[in-house]
Amino acid sequence: MPTDAKRTFLLPSQITEVPGAAGWESMYPYYTKFQPEDDQRFWFYNAMHFPEPMPAFDAITGEVAYEGLGAFTTRIFVFPTTMGIEHRIANGRVYITANPVSDPAEIGRRLELFQERAGYYYENWNRILGEWTTRMENMIREIAAIQAPTLPEHAPIENVTNATGLGENHYIKEKYHRLLELYSKMWHHHFEMLMLGYGAYMVFFQFCKKAFPETPDQTIARMVAGIEVLMFRPDDELKRLAKKAIEHNVDDLFTADCDPQDVLAAMQKRGENGQKWLAELEKSREPWFHMSTGDGFYHHHLSWNDDLSVPFSALPRYVEQLRQGVSLDRPTEKLKEERTRIIGEFRELLSSPDEQQAFDQMLGLCHLVFPFVEDHKFYCEHWFTTLFFKKVKTFGALLVAKDVLVEADDIFHLQYVEIESLLADLSLSWAGGGKPLGRNHWRPIIEKRKRILGRLKDWNAPPALGPIPDDISDPALQMLWGITNETLETWSSSATALDAREIKGFAASPGIVEGIARVLKNVNDIAQIREGEILVCPVTAPSWGPVFGKIKAAVSDIGGTMSHAAIVAREYGLPAVVGCGSATTRIKTGQRLRVDGNRGIVRILD
Amino acid sequence: MAALNIVSRFAEIGIQDRPSVGGKGASLGELARAGIRVPSGCVVTTSAFERFLTILDPQGSIRRGVSKLSAQDSAAIVQLSEQVRAQIECAPLPEDLQSAIAAAYEELHRAPENATCPVAIRSSATSEDSAEASFAGLQDTYLWVRGSDSVIRHVRKCWASLYSVESLTYRRRLNIPEEGLAMGVVIQQMIDSRCSGVMFTRSPTTGDRSVVVLEASWGLGSAIVSGEVTPDKYVISKVTGEIVQRNVSTKLREHLPNSHGAGVSDQEVPEERQNIPCLSDDELHALVTIARQVERHYHAPQDIEWAVSRNHSPGGNLFLLQSRPETVWAAKDKAPVAAPKGKAFDHVIALLSGGALKK
């Protein structure tokens, strides 16, 4: 919130300790700490990707993601006006700032390289995308194949007969390192084409904003969005499974609040029909249930495969709708026709053939990049990331077996470099025949960190820190940050708003409804959502698709009009207001809200 | 001498008839022909005016007098204006004109839904309502006129208004020649508007052609035009039909037909209606559909006046009162937003070049 007329948010050095959370710094590397000189720079809370306080291990996602992103913007494609992102962690929250390039001579030098390099990717986009997909699929296969680490009392005989010349304790380290390497590689690939993809969007949006200044972003987004993208598939699979349940006469098992394990057990007793449905389920699970229950940035964002409660919470509703004769098929042909009509009409409204040609070029480029921009999420944030955390957890399980940790998830309360040292301890003790010393060293630390995280959850993180920049109109900067001058205005005005009952955000999907709020700070609580409620969350994660059939409207702290959630909300015809800054702290579950998706305003009615 | 056409019905005229019926009349005829609902009516032709003027002033001294005026000499303009207006309003009207106008009014009178037959009498100058120079508002309009004597009196007032101080000054300033300048007069069934307003098929504030901007307020449109009320304002996407912006304002005044017969009275809007929208979303969308129809018909953005009648049932209660080509943005339409580039991705390179490459 701006503290004075000089237009500055709270300074990093002014952040106060959260009671009971002293010592949080020990959870993160030294290079994520705010430095005194950081007070001179503008930072903002990356609540879009990191809406919760970071467990010590999970902070690796910030680290390797910004390594990958910056490598491409700063060094590989050499974006003219911006380098990469620096991040800091305060009270468990990730704050970021971009490094702009302002010297015109330097911009010129970078531009020359950028033209050649970005041009090469755009010109060869589909070939590179094909290679990208193969690379990613290979990496997914590789990480999936990594076996849980073991330290048996005696090495297996094959160790001798194959003369491997290595002890199991070596493989522990090798596997752990391989996991980290693959995670780093994945994040590099994640950003390989993404910023260029966003660049294409940005050009088209800016064009439309000039040609059609009163047309909402959400309408422009409809011209860009693809109809058949991977991210819709998991939800489509649930609809398919609902159909199969009716077809095989096992639909009675899907009742409101049914427990997945009970359903699976009951299925076993339904003879051939039950088996048929289970076979269909298996078909869907591989790969479509490799969908994160969140957006894949935290270890507790399990995949549907590992937590069936999310997909199963949508099934009873789909079954019920099918029984009532509602068609659940996405009307893809109709959606395509509608998109074609909208594009054609806007094109017709342009004032010259020149403009129309430019429009065609820009929109064509958007359609070229759209499949990557949408589909990469399934490969990276969902499929790969859920496998990664699951594999790390197998090290936790080994440490539990060796009486070091209390539970497997405890491993996520250690920094990845701390795990390295714990594995050395484990390896030495296995080899030496003694006991690992980690139990006494790490258990108290882990206990303390869990307590701290619990306290940090309640911290009302300021949306931004430091002096507000005069102008962040540079498109590359906006793209990297995901915020604009308007965002800053919205945040500063919502903090000083006279009317505390009104929350401003961005209109992401049109319509006005009233209903009861359900505030979900943690995606794992998704099953709490009841029919007809208004979802209020830090960020609307893509995998919440199935829930959109249940809710009346969606409100989020962070998000933009091309976010997957906004696209889904528009398809479901649900009003959505995104990027509200602090909706989850200002709204309480049970309050009556009016969500105005036309104007981007949420009003608390109670 | 060929038979003089004194009165033309809307159905008989189109935009090409501007010289014989004036701009407003021609435009209303054109709309009616295009299948747009306008209040029924007719136009007293410019030939009728010419005939009247010739009888009144066979030597053409009025026109000569006006031509000699200097735009700066306001005293002379006022003097001539008063003299000519008095002449036009008092001189006897030829019998054939008188009976033709009365007959046309009677015809409107016979329209069953219009038994009391109040009409609007509106001037329709030949130079008015053109895309090049918006002449609007310089000639008079009279609302809620009843009875053939009164109608005839107001037709003469309209003719006279061609020589109002404002009109004369305007013509002299722009050096518009007097020869061939004539006045048609529209006689049109009056709509008792529940609400009325204007709409632009292009945003007047940004020039955006993808939206219709509509303003609406209670009662007759004169309240909005005169600026006495802050109307409800809507921005509607032509492409998706979405209501992009909706501002319902507090509407304190409304113009209503006078209870004792003729004219209009300015009244306070009852409190329960002040803050509610005066149009339903269905009516809004129906108006937008009509606006697009008119725009397509003319192949140019339009500035439209409309009304919702109290006395007609839904489905038949939306009327257009006027449509003019939009003039403000039409003049600005020069620089294209973007031009094509060698390669599609060159647009991205230019955007991210920090201004080093011209966008």
| Partner-chain contact A342 B239, CB within 8 Å | yes
Chain B residues whose CB is inside 8 A of the A509 CB are none
Average pLDDT over residues A549-563: 78
The DSSP 8-state label assigned to residue B353 in this structure reads: T
Task: Give the per-residue SS3 of A184-230.
Answer: HHHHHHHHHCHHHHHHHHHHHHHHHHHHCCCCCHHHHHHHHCCCCCH
Please check whether residue A384 lies inside any domain of the structure.
no
Average pLDDT over residues A488-493: 66
Instruction: Quickly state the pLDDT bin for B138 (edges 50, 70, 90).
Output: low
CATH code of A517's domain: 3.50.30.10
Identity of the residue in A206, A211, A361 whose CB atom sits nearest the CB atom of B341: A361
**For residue B136, pLDDT beyond 60:** no
CB count, 10 Å around CB of B75? 7
| Per-residue pLDDT reduced to its tens digit, B106-120 | 888 776 555 567 888
Same domain, A26 and A94: yes
Please check whether residue A28 lies inside any domain of the structure.
yes
Please check whether residue A578 lies inside any domain of the structure.
yes
Average pLDDT over residues A471-495: 68
**For residue B133, pLDDT beyond 50:** no
**Nearest Cα residue in chain B from A77:** B349
Chain B residues whose CB is inside 8 A of the A122 CB are 343-345, 348
Is A510 within 8 Å of B242 (Cβ atoms)? yes
For the entire predicted model, the pTM comes to: 0.81
Provide the pLDDT for residue A494. Answer: 53
Please check whether residue A203 lies inside any domain of the structure.
no
Please check whether residue A139 lies inside any domain of the structure.
no
d(CA B319, CA B283): 11
Higher pLDDT: A500 or A184? It is A184
Average pLDDT over residues A77-97: 95
B210 and A CB contact within 8 Å? yes
Provide the pLDDT for residue A490. Answer: 66
Is B144 within 8 Å of B29 (Cβ atoms)? no
**For residue B135, pLDDT beyond 80:** no
Q: Which runs of consecutive H residues, i.e. helices, occur in A289-331? A: 309-323
- Of A189-198, A409-418, A480-489, the range with the lowest mean pLDDT is A480-489
Chain A residues whose CB is inside 8 A of the B343 CB are 119, 122-123
d(CA A429, CA A435): 5
Instruction: Quickly state the pLDDT bin for A132 (edges 50, 70, 90).
Output: very high
| Partner-chain contact A214 B206, CB within 8 Å | yes
Please check whether residue A398 lies inside any domain of the structure.
no
| Partner-chain contact A362 B343, CB within 8 Å | no
Query: Which H or E run includes A123?
Result: helix A104-123
The DSSP 8-state label assigned to residue A409 in this structure reads: G
| Per-residue pLDDT reduced to its tens digit, A159-180 | 999 999 999 999 999 999 999 9
State the amino acid at position A279 in one-letter form. Answer: A
Is B27 within 8 Å of B9 (Cβ atoms)? no
Structural domains in chain B plus CATH codes = 7-189 (3.30.1490.20), 193-325 (3.30.470.20)
Instruction: Quickly state the pLDDT bin for B132 (edges 50, 70, 90).
Output: very low
Q: Which of B214, B239, B299 to mutate to test the interface with A (most CBs of A within 10 A)?
A: B239
Strand pairing report for B193-200 and B119-125: unpaired
Chain B residues whose CB is inside 8 A of the A216 CB are 237, 242, 244
Chain A residues whose CB is inside 8 A of the B244 CB are 214-216, 598
**Nearest Cα residue in chain B from A217:** B244
Q: Which of A99, A202, A214 to mutate to test the interface with B (most CBs of B within 10 A)?
A: A214
Same domain, A596 and A523: yes
Any idea what the Cα angle at residue A72 is, between residues A67 and A75, rounded to 5°?
A: 95
Please check whether residue A272 lies inside any domain of the structure.
yes
Here the tokens at position B60 are 């053409």
| Partner-chain contact B340 A352, CB within 8 Å | no
Same domain, A472 and A504: no
ipTM above 0.85, yes or no: no
The residue from A451, A481, A511 where one domain ends is A481
The DSSP 8-state label assigned to residue A527 in this structure reads: G
Chain B residues whose CB is inside 8 A of the A475 CB are 351-352
Using DSSP's 3-state secondary structure scheme, residue B195 falls into: strand
Number of H helices, E strands in chain B: 11, 13
**For residue A301, pLDDT beyond 60:** yes
B2 and A CB contact within 8 Å? no
Chain B residues whose CB is inside 8 A of the A79 CB are 352
Provide the pLDDT for residue A236. Answer: 92
B residues 146-205 closer than 8 Å to A (CB): 203
| Per-residue pLDDT reduced to its tens digit, B331-350 | 776 677 889 999 999 999 99
Same domain, A595 and A501: yes
Query: Which H or E run includes A431?
Result: helix A416-432
Please check whether residue A161 lies inside any domain of the structure.
no
Strand pairing report for A512-519 and A534-539: parallel
Higher pLDDT: B311 or A488? It is B311
Identity of the residue in B242, B243, B354 whose CB atom sits nearest the CB atom of A80: B354
d(CA A28, CA A17): 16
| Per-residue pLDDT reduced to its tens digit, A62-80 | 999 999 999 999 999 999 9
Number of domains in chain A: 3
**For residue A1, pLDDT beyond 80:** no
Torsions phi, psi of B255, nearest 5?
-95, 130
Is A514 within 8 Å of A592 (Cβ atoms)? yes
Is B166 within 8 Å of B81 (Cβ atoms)? no
**For residue A498, pLDDT beyond 50:** no
Determine the structural domain holding residue A57 and report its residue range: 12-113+461-481
Same domain, A523 and A576: yes
Is A533 within 8 Å of A552 (Cβ atoms)? yes
B331 and A CB contact within 8 Å? no
Percent of chain A with pLDDT over 90: 67
Q: In DSSP terms, which residues pair with B299 in a beta bridge?
A: none
**For residue B261, pLDDT beyond 90:** no
Chain B residues whose CB is inside 8 A of the A474 CB are 354
Provide the pLDDT for residue A337. Answer: 92
Same domain, A476 and A545: no
d(CA A133, CA A376): 9
Query: Which H or E run includes A449?
Result: helix A438-456
**Nearest Cα residue in chain B from A347:** B210
Same domain, A100 and A32: yes
Alpha-carbon Rg for chain B in angstroms: 23
| Per-residue pLDDT reduced to its tens digit, A9-55 | 899 999 999 999 999 999 999 999 999 999 999 998 988 889 899 99
| Per-residue pLDDT reduced to its tens digit, A349-407 | 998 899 999 999 999 999 999 999 989 999 999 999 999 999 999 999 999 999 999 99
**Prior bond of B19 cis (ω within 30°):** no
| Partner-chain contact A200 B345, CB within 8 Å | yes
Torsions phi, psi of A271, nearest 5?
60, -140
Provide the pLDDT for residue A197. Answer: 94
Same domain, A477 and A519: no
Of the candidates A174, A195, A154, the one whose C-alpha atom is nearest the C-alpha of residue A72 is A195
The residue from A323, A354, A388 where one domain ends is A323
Same domain, A572 and A523: yes
Question: Could you write out the DSSP letters of every residue in B113-154?
Answer: GGTT--EEEEEEETTTT-SSS--TTSS-EEEEE-SHHHHHHH
The residue from A269, A299, A323 where one domain ends is A323
Average pLDDT over residues B107-135: 65
Same domain, A467 and A541: no
Chain B residues whose CB is inside 8 A of the A114 CB are 349, 352-353
Is A118 within 8 Å of B349 (Cβ atoms)? yes
d(CA A457, CA A454): 6
Higher pLDDT: A487 or B281? It is B281
Is B25 within 8 Å of B186 (Cβ atoms)? yes
B332 and A CB contact within 8 Å? no
B245 and A CB contact within 8 Å? yes
B297 and A CB contact within 8 Å? no
Same domain, A527 and A475: no
CB count, 10 Å around CB of A329? 9
Percent of chain A with pLDDT over 70: 93
pLDDT, mean over chain A: 90
Q: Is A553 exposed, middle or buried (0-12, 13-18, 19+ CB in 10 A)?
A: buried
Same domain, A266 and A301: yes
Provide the pLDDT for residue A493. Answer: 61
B75 and A CB contact within 8 Å? no
Here the tokens at position B293 are 């129809």
CB count, 10 Å around CB of A144? 13
